[in-house]
Amino acid sequence: MVFQSTSALLFKMKIAAKEKAVFLDRDGTINEEMGYINHVSRFRIFNFVPKAIRILNRAGFRVILVTNQSGVARGYFSEQLVRELHHILIKKVEAEGGHIDKIYYCPHHPTEGTGIYRKDCNCRKPKTGMVDLAVKEFNLDRSASYMIGDRYKDVQFASKAGLKSVMVLTGYGRGEYEYQKGTWSQQPDFIFNNLLEAAQALSGLNRAEAENNSH
Q: What share of the chain is helix, strand, coil (3-state, %, to 5)?
A: 50, 15, 35
Annotated catalytic residue 27: yes
Residue 85 and residue 52 in contact, taking contact as beta carbons nearer than 8 Å: no
What amino acid occupies position 52?
Answer: A
How many CB atoms neighbour CB 132 within 10 A? Answer: 15
Residue 45 and residue 170 in contact, taking contact as beta carbons nearer than 8 Å: no
Annotated catalytic residue 189: no
- Which is the catalytic residue, given 27, 101, 120, 132? 27
Question: CA dist 154 to 11, 32, 166, Å?
Answer: 37, 17, 8
Which residues are part of the catalytic machinery? 25, 27
